[in-house]
Structures are given as C-alpha cells and as structure tokens.
Amino acid sequence: MADVTFTVDGKKLTAPAGTLLIDACKAVGIEIPAFCYYPGLSLQAACRMCVVRIEKMPKLQTACTTTVAEGMVVQTETDEIKQARKATIELLLGNHPLDCPVCDAGGECELQDMTFKYGAAESKYVEIKQHREEQQWSPVVFFDRPRCILCYRCVRVCGEGMDVWALGIQNRGVSAVIAPNGQDHLECEECGMCIDICPVGALTSGTYRYKTRPWEMTHVATICTHCGDGCKTTLGTRRSNDGMEIVRGDNRDKSGINGDFLCIKGRYAFDFANRTERLTKPLVRQADGQFKEASWSEAIDFAAKRLREIRESKGGQAIGVIGSNRTTNEENYLLQKFARTVLGTNNIDHHRTVDYVSFAAALAGKSERTASLRDTANAPAILLLGNDPTEQHPALAWNLRSNVRLNRARIYIANHAEIKLRRQAKQFLEIPKDGYASLVQYLAGNDSVVAANEQTAAFRDAIRKEESLLIIFGSEFRGRDIQALVEFGLSLPNTKFVLLGDYANSRGAADMGLLPDTLPGYVPVASAAHFADEYGAVLPQNAGLDLLQMFDAAQSGNLAALYVVGSNPVTRYGVDPAVLKNTFVIVQDMFLTETAQLADVVFPAANLYEKAGTVTNTYGDIQLVKKAADKAGVRSDFELIVRLADRMGADLKKLVPFGRGVRADMGQTRGAQSGEADRHSVWLAAHGLEPKLSPFDPFATLDEIQRLVPSYSFSRLELLAGSDQHAKSELVQISAAPARRDLVLPSQDTLFTSGTLGRYSDKLKEVLDSHTTPKPVEAAAD
C-alpha cells in the first residue's frame, strides 16, 4: 500500500497505509505498552494499555487497532496518557494477588514492568480480592486464575495459531475467567504456546513452575533435538551438583526459524537429560557376562584394542558402524571419516527416515530448488503430499496455518488420512495409501492412472494454475517416486521442494555420508578422489553393508565388530539379540538402551544439548548448536570418536584438522568444574573468534566439511551470529541415482513421542498417559 506520513511525539514518520499505529511506532523504537495486542493474532483491544492521544479524535484511542493515516498527529506519553494507563493497571490489579516474589513470571512479567513504570502498586480499591485456587489443567498447563488479566492472548494463540481452540472465556465482568475445553482439564496438543504468550504468570508450565527465577538461569539458545524441523529453543540452565541442569525450555528471543513457535517437545522434552539413570561411567562386559564400571582409559583402551585386532585379523569389512539421527554434522562427518580411514570400512549406515539420497540425486545441479522452513510461512501456494505435519512436523504445521491465516496462502493436500491440516486446505484429496505415485503421474497429465473425477480434476487444474508452488512431501515417496515427483514439479514454472525426514539431524546424517555408498555431500564411494587426497588415506572403493546387511552379516558370523553411536537399532529394527552374540559391540549412548544392553563396551554420551556443533534440519537449514547443559561423567560423541581413534593409533592431526601447532584447552575437555574455561569460550565466541586448539573441537571439523562439501559452503560468520544457513543443493555432487535398496523406515512419531529418546522423557510419558486414559469430566472448573 502507498506510504502515509504522520507525526508521533514530534517525529515525522512514514509507513505504508494500513499499518497499525502500534507497529509503526515500534518500528522506529517508540514503545507503546500493550497487554492484549500480539502481532499476527487477531485484534482484541481488551486491555486499554496502548491508549494514545490522536489530534482531532475524541477521547484516547487504542494504538493497537488504529491504522496510520496521512497527517495524523499522535502523542504517546503525556500526563493524561500516563494517568489513563495507571488507572488501567489499577483496575487490572484489582484482583491481582501481587505475589510477584513467588510467581514464575516475576522478573519477566509485562504487568510487573508496567506497574513499575506507571507506579500503580498502591490501590484505591478496598474490596476484597476474589481468590481462586490454582488449577492443573494438564501435565504441562497450570492456571492461576487471580493472576490473569484477561488479555485473551492464550485464547487466540490456541485457536487461531494452533487451530486447537481449547481455551475459552466464561462468565462475565469481574467473574470472567479463562476456561479449558474439558471443563476442568485441557484436551489439547500441549504445546505450551498459551503459557509462553501469557504476559503474566497466570498460565504456568508443569516442568518449570516454582523451580527457579528467570535471573538465576543461564539462557542458551540452541536447536531442538527432536523432530526434523529444527526449531530454536532457549534452554534455561542452572548449576547442579553434577554439572549444569536444564530447568526450562522456551522460545525466549523468538529469533529462530520457528518464529513464535515451539511444540511440546522443544519446550518440555529436555528432561531426559536430567534423568537419574543416565550412564555416567563407561561399562565393560566381564567374562561372567555382567557389566562392570570401568575408567575411561580402561574402557577406551579395551574397545580400541579389540577394534584394532579385528581390523588387523579380519579387515575393515568385518566391522560395521551405525550412526545417529541426533548427533551433530561434525560428529557424523567424523564418524564416517573414522570408519573409512581408521577402521577401513564402508559398512556405515544410520536409521533412514526418508530417502534423502534419491532426493539429492533428483535435484542434482538444480539451484534454488529446496525451501527453507522459513519459506513455508510465506509461500503463496503449497502442495502437501503425504505426512501429517501436525503430528510429525509441528513447526511446519504452525507455519502453514499462519500462512493461510495471514497471507491467504493456498494449500493443496493429498493424503491417505484425514489429517488435521485439511482444515486449512483449499483443496483436500483423500487417496489410497499406495496411491501417491499414481497421483503424481495423474498430476503430470496421465489420466488413466487414477479414478479421475471432478474433484481430482479440480485439484490438478488448481495446482497447474499456480505460478509458484512449494511441494512438501513425506516418506511416502522413495527412490523413483521422488524422481518422478521432482520431474513433475520442475515442469511447473517456479517450484521448490521439501522432503520431510524425522529427526533433528536426519538430513545431516545423510548429508555427512553416514551411508554405505556415499561420502559426505553424496559423493559416491567409488569416486572418492578428493576425499582420499584430503584424508591422506586410501579409502575403501566398494559400497559397504547397509544397516540390515550388517545384522545379516552378524548373524552369519561375518561381522566381528559393530560400533553404534546414539542409535537403538535393536528395538527400531526388531533385531533378535542372539544375532549379535558373536559380534564385539561398542555403544555410545545416554542410557542403557536395548542395543546398549547387548554391548561389550558402553560409553556414556552427551546429548545434543550438551555439545556444540551444527545440525541440518530436513529443509536443509544449517544451524548452530550451542552447549547449554553439562553432566559430569559424560563425553560428547565427537570426543569419544577422537579418543577411540587415538588409541587405535590414528594420526589425530589427520582426523581433525585442529590447531596447526598451538595447544590449549579452551574448555572443551571440561568436567563439571569448568566454569572458568567455558567462560573463555563464551568470550571468544562473543568476539567472533573460534578456538580450534584441541582435537576435540568440532569447528575444526566444520572447516573440513566446508572445504570438501560444496553444499555446505555457507557464511561462517552468519552461522556464528546465530542465523540459519541453507544448504546449496546445486552443489551436491551426486550422479544420477542407480536403483537403490529401499531402507527407509519412517519413525511414525506423534506429537508426544520421539523415538527411543522420547521414552526417556518423563514429561512426554505423563502427557501420553493422560491422553490415553482420559479423566472423567467432573464439575465445571470454576
């Protein structure tokens, strides 16, 4: 819209006509207080805090509902306005308990800030405050009625934002109260958005309430370890007896690719890290078959010695390596390098949740064809094939809903189930479970493959009319189907693609070559020349065993050793424990998982919240992971791989390009008492410096990745500054895909599960239980 010029507090401002006054002011640094206004949600004008004086208008006006107009003259902070705001706060405080000293929100409460600013702590009211007891509405949501200022933010974010509509408002006037849909409990997606958005401490979280105060925590923004969306979550940590404990997860600065959003997992499912049964000492299986705790050097020596023996006697092909969907890119890269150069094997794989290899092959050489998660929030038209983002990609679902609401995006969905997002879809097509490939053929113009009818025809016509289309698809597409879908997409004018994989770094695992036939960047193992040069080693040329073949080999006695990093294939693939009885198994994990129980050596590993590095979400957005928590007795997978390599006699300088002569420990090898050293690295990071002084420094490996994997040639500076970088698909050096074995096993996670890791989250378990055994409805909550 055309720009208009207006005056605020004597300053001449310009903004597009139609801009809300409150936003126009904010853009130039004039802050107008607001409780009920929230950008992106519908206007409420319930609180009257944003009142301003506009010349030629009677009475004070609400800046949150007034759009700027040519020649408008506005005052935002006069005595009259101050008085009005003070009076508003006095009214709000009429029933407010003023229990800031114990309230969770104390210290980051908008009402507290405003009361300080306008000085309304004393009240003229003598009426007795209406009190109601705190209520628990779900395992994660608690409601403290007296603190509520009835701003309706929670109601709107749950309804408009989440499309859950679980919160309402009941009664009226002074008795008005926020109410949950189950009368005395919530039946909802447990996202915690309502808690996050509450300007006061009326909605509080089951994980954090009454635990600590905001200023007593250290806040570290890092990437969620759960699904493939890669949201930024801010972890509030506090010193505990054995390191740094996570007390809270939230979306503090909203600077991540997820914008306002976090789902239950990013917000509350960090508690696995604090579980008491976490492994903190290496375990070595004794002659009697029992595990015994061992020191680090004993355990590492023991494992390295056995691996060396096996390599020497049987060769690398007798060793298998299984990587993780949640370790960093640097760790994945290092693991494949370790496998290929130190163990001498291409027998390396991971639990594949989608077919990234075929996707990379289909898009080889095409630039600007993959979309960022950010793009899903503003693409004008989206075709969603398969998957159920509400359950499996909550941030994507949020973006799609917002995109429809705020930008009138057109979403076309074809699915074999009536997924919830169909409520936002312009057109929804229900197709058979095995009908995805035929649908693509049909869309491409082949009428004979589906039972075409008016609805399918309208669907196809609408899609073909779109001038720019974002195609998002799930694990329903593999191999040739991906090829066909991409070909169809490329036949349209302006298409981008997203393949939806399941975990925090599933994409990174594939990108970094945790695969038996491709090196990092999908370079086929047979044409490994520049890797061999850089590594200064001869690399095995033939494709190795994939994950299933490794277990087959174990069964037939041909796999002498198996090294499993952060993965639980025994449960995931239903492996019979007997299969591994003659295989020497090394497992790195947080817990004694079903796989770890079969191991000969178990190393206690750190999780994604306890290390630094990068991860790549399923869209190809590469983001910085920062170390937030710490636990005495665990080591990062990176460190463990390096130490194992060291004891196997590998040249560390070749494995990790660190140092160049300088030696110092900047805290990377820290134990529980490492505050000092960690502060050094914080200081260095703050000054844009990266210490790469120890072989345990993942950023030295990132240097190598950036040298050897062209699609990861992003700006390091931007990454360190906390922005997401997009992988460049055109620089993937894959050749046209030969037929590959389909090894995709979708994880089938829901909103409340997260593979093996999810089973170790008490909060997720509690929520799952509460959703499977519904509470009987009793009397109304209020």
Partner 1 sequence: MSTPATTIFSPETAARFDRLVTLYPVRRSALIPMLLYAQDEVGYISDEVVKEVAQRIGITELDVRNVLSYYSMLRTKPAGKYNIQVCTNISCMLRGGYEILEHCKQRLGIGHKEVTPDGQFSLEEVECIGACCWAPAIQVNYDFYDELTPEKMDAVLEEYKTGRGKETR
What does DSSP assign to residue 161?
Answer: I
CB of 61 to ligand SF4, least distance (A): 22
CB of 149 to ligand FES, least distance (A): 10
Q: Give the dihedral sign, CA 245/247/248/253.
A: negative
With CB under 8 A as the contact rule, the residue among 93, 179, 244, 421 that binds partner 1 is: 179
CB of 174 to ligand FES, least distance (A): 18
Binding partner of residue 168 among ligand SF4, partner 1, ligand FES, none, CB cut-off 5 to 8 Å per kind:
partner 1
| Cβ–Cβ < 8 Å for 228, 248 | no
DSSP-derived secondary structure for 270-287? TGGGG-TT---S-EEE-T
| Cβ–Cβ < 8 Å for 681, 666 | yes
CB of 107 to ligand FES, least distance (A): 22
Q: Residue 196 or residue 600: which is nearer to ligand SF4 going by CB?
A: 196
Q: Which of these, 249, 317, 329, lies nearest to 708 by C-alpha position? A: 329
132 sits near partner 1 (criterion: CB under 8 A): no
Chain positions contacting ligand SF4, by CB under 6 A: 141, 148-154, 157-158, 162, 164, 166-167, 178, 186, 188-194, 197-200, 202-203, 224, 226-227, 229-231, 258, 262-263, 265-266, 394-395
Q: 159-178: which residues touch partner 1 (CB under 8 A)?
A: 165-172
Q: Residue 163 or residue 546: which is nearer to partner 1 going by CB?
A: 163
CB of 166 to ligand SF4, least distance (A): 4
- Please state, in angstroms and rounded to a whole number, the distance separating the CA atoms of residues 714 and 705: 11
Q: Residue 50 or residue 300: which is nearer to ligand SF4 going by CB?
A: 50
CB of 198 to ligand SF4, least distance (A): 3
Q: Residue 153 or residue 326: which is nearer to partner 1 going by CB?
A: 153
Residue given tokens 């490794």 in the structure block: 550
CB of 403 to ligand SF4, least distance (A): 16
DSSP SS3 for 235: strand
Q: Residue 41 or residue 409: which is nearer to ligand SF4 going by CB?
A: 41
DSSP SS3 for 48: coil
In terms of C-beta density within 10 A (0-12 exposed, 13-18 middle, 19 or more buried), how is residue 654 classed?
middle
DSSP SS3 for 412: strand
Q: Which segments within 37-104 are labelled E, that is strand?
A: 51-54, 61-62, 73-75
Q: Residue 165 or residue 210: which is nearer to partner 1 going by CB?
A: 165
Angle among Cα 27, 28, 29 to the nearest 5 degrees reads 95
- Please state, in angstroms and rounded to a whole number, the distance separating the CA atoms of residues 631 and 598: 24
Q: Residue 10 or residue 173: which is nearer to partner 1 going by CB?
A: 173
CB of 259 to ligand SF4, least distance (A): 11
Binding partner of residue 49 among ligand SF4, ligand FES, partner 1, none, CB cut-off 5 to 8 Å per kind:
ligand FES
What does DSSP assign to residue 42?
Answer: P
| Cβ–Cβ < 8 Å for 238, 212 | yes
Angle among Cα 471, 475, 481 to the nearest 5 degrees reads 70
3-class DSSP string for 725-780 = EECCHHHCCCCCCCCCCCCCCCCCCCCCCCHHHHHCCHHHHHHHHHHHCCCCCCCC
Q: Length of the chain, please?
A: 782
| Cβ–Cβ < 8 Å for 718, 725 | yes
Q: Residue 204 or residue 681: which is nearer to ligand SF4 going by CB?
A: 204
45 sits near ligand FES (criterion: CB under 6 A): yes
Q: Residue 49 or residue 334: which is nearer to ligand FES going by CB?
A: 49
100 residue type, one letter: C
Q: 60-79: which residues touch ligand FES (CB under 6 A)?
A: 62, 64
Q: How far is CA 660 from CA 292, 654, 707, in A?
A: 39, 11, 16
34 sits near ligand FES (criterion: CB under 6 A): yes
| Cβ–Cβ < 8 Å for 618, 500 | yes
With CB under 6 A as the contact rule, the residue among 6, 37, 268, 531 that binds ligand FES is: 37
Binding partner of residue 263 among ligand SF4, partner 1, ligand FES, none, CB cut-off 5 to 8 Å per kind:
ligand SF4
49 sits near ligand FES (criterion: CB under 6 A): yes
Q: Give the dihedral sign, CA 541/547/551/552.
A: negative
Tokens of 774: 């519904």
With CB under 6 A as the contact rule, the residue among 23, 46, 212, 315 that binds ligand FES is: 46
Q: Which residue is nearest to ligand FES (CB)?
A: 64
Total residues interacting with partner 1, rule: CB under 8 A: 13
Tell me phi and psi for residue 661, to 5 degrees: 105, -30
Binding partner of residue 189 among ligand SF4, partner 1, ligand FES, none, CB cut-off 5 to 8 Å per kind:
ligand SF4
CB of 269 to ligand SF4, least distance (A): 8
Tokens of 773: 């055994």
CB of 368 to ligand SF4, least distance (A): 24
Q: Residue 721 or residue 777: which is nearer to partner 1 going by CB?
A: 777
3-class DSSP string for 376-442 = HHCCCEEEEECCCHHHHCHHHHHHHHHHHHHHCCEEEEEECCCCHHHHHCCEEEECCCCCHHHHHHH
Q: Which of these, 548, 571, 550, 552, lies nearest to 561 by C-alpha position? A: 550
Q: 461-520: which residues touch ligand FES (CB under 6 A)?
A: none
Tokens of 292: 């015994």
Binding partner of residue 46 among ligand FES, ligand SF4, partner 1, none, CB cut-off 5 to 8 Å per kind:
ligand FES
Residue given tokens 């070595």 in the structure block: 284
Q: 300-329: which residues touch partner 1 (CB under 8 A)?
A: none
50 sits near partner 1 (criterion: CB under 8 A): no
With CB under 6 A as the contact rule, the residue among 6, 35, 208, 752 that binds ligand FES is: 35
- Please state, in angstroms and rounded to a whole number, the distance separating the CA atoms of residues 294 and 304: 14
> x/- site string to partner 1, residues 181 to 200, per CB under 8 A?
x-x-----------------
Q: Residue 46 or residue 462: which is nearer to ligand FES going by CB?
A: 46
Per CB under 8 A, residues contacting partner 1 are 165-172, 179-181, 183, 780
Per CB under 6 A, residues contacting ligand FES are 34-37, 45-50, 62, 64
